[in-house]
Structure 1
């Protein structure tokens, strides 16, 4: 946790970096480093995902016929990889954060803002990747469609797709924070028993986002339904808000574990 620094003469007080304004909120100091780590990991994730999709398309085209989108499957990784990172963040960084003289409240705020920003970034890259894949498929005459057993999630165009991905990815990260603090606060046994509650936001969003309509990245998209979207979007926002509230409640007065080296 090299991003958290202390001075030798003033243990527990954060050392101000050169150029950092006096009185800068604690959560913003924490946010800068935590978000940078998340975006660094996101960059590696998408580099690997694009490479894997490219290789898969080449191989499939050589030995058979490309019949479905391959990039669509990256959404699973973009959901559960940041989910796992959020669990690690909640369990590993809180003790170091507080040991460096910062408050639980600032940790909560930095973690939640990171989840929102990182989730939106994942959604934006996923949406752009789907557009790029569609252009490649059109160039080679491949059908840009969902698999027969895959659920079409969004209606049409860049906006609905971005919204759907953002709700899904942000919710998964908030759920990861909730899972992580559950283990941190209650230990392994209770943390595991609480998984049906702490992992619920990620699972519920997997169920809510299909209500936004057909997936417009694909030519066989179903019509967009305002009635179902009017339920899905507020429902997803409520789920994310409840997950964030749960994370706040479990973190604000949690006993801090001793940092070991």
Structure 2
């Protein structure tokens, strides 16, 4: 006698898999992220003291340190989903719910990490402004001062989402395709991230490649749409890689 699953039960199971995946990815990343934020706040404060004592402050210090949050999220995008997939499938959930949960977590992480960074920048702005220190940033994009709270939040949110999804695409690309094709996927993912960063302006990629594509700052809407398109492409890349990914023989859920 063959057991069947009712449509309602299947939908409930899919929803539970999605919710569990999103929650575990979000919370698991933030548990480690708390230590990241403690470290970057201490580094920012220390650098400010050192530069004020032995050099001269010519702009925001926190922008270069707190702005490393997307890079941290790219690493977490590689590590966390890779560790979760076998357990997710072993619990009876689907790859589809895992993809949906991972993408949802990426959005939540991007927005909340960017909010934390924007608050940190605003605090720096208040301190620097009170001491009559300059608050400009090195690579202006959607924002040109550490006090541009909403522009920083928007810009860093989009960047952080893109970096996390790129990390996920890279990790599972090597897991599924191996060295050669995994490297091809890495190049594609990194290219999309750089394209999104160039659209927004600012950030490390703009500082490195901005002169090669120097056409002046893009309008806000164009920059946001450009980075959103890069995020959509990265989401599609994650979906295509994960939708029927086989588990390695050593994985706990390989037989499921």
What pairs with 1:1-261 in structure 2 (closer than 5 Å)? 25-146=16-137, 150-155=138-143, 157-210=148-201, 228-260=219-251
* Structure-2 change in CA distance of 1:202 and 1:196 (3 Å): same
| Inter-CA distance 43–50: structure 2 relative to 1 (3 Å threshold) | same
How big is the shift at 1:93? Answer: 2.3
| Counterpart-to-counterpart distance in 1, 2:82 and 2:179 | 12
2-structure distance, mates of 1:48, 1:87: 21
Q: In structure 2, how many angstroms separate the alpha carbons of the residues matched to 1:70 and 1:138?
A: 13
Structure 1: gaps spanning 5 or more residues: 1-21, 212-223
How far apart are the structure 1 equivalents of 2:29 and 2:192? 20
> What SS is found at the alignment partner of 1:145?
coil
Give the TM-score normalised by the residue count of structure 1.
Answer: 0.79
Shift, 1:106, TM fit: 1.3
Per-residue deviation, 1:130:
0.9
- Residue ranges of structure 2 left out of the alignment (5+ in a row): 1-11, 203-215
Deviations 1:87-119 (CA, angstroms, capped at 9, x unpaired): 123433222321232211111111111110001
Q: CA deviation at 1:76?
A: 4.3
Cα RMSD over matched residues? 2.2
Of Structure 1 and Structure 2, the greater helix share is in 2
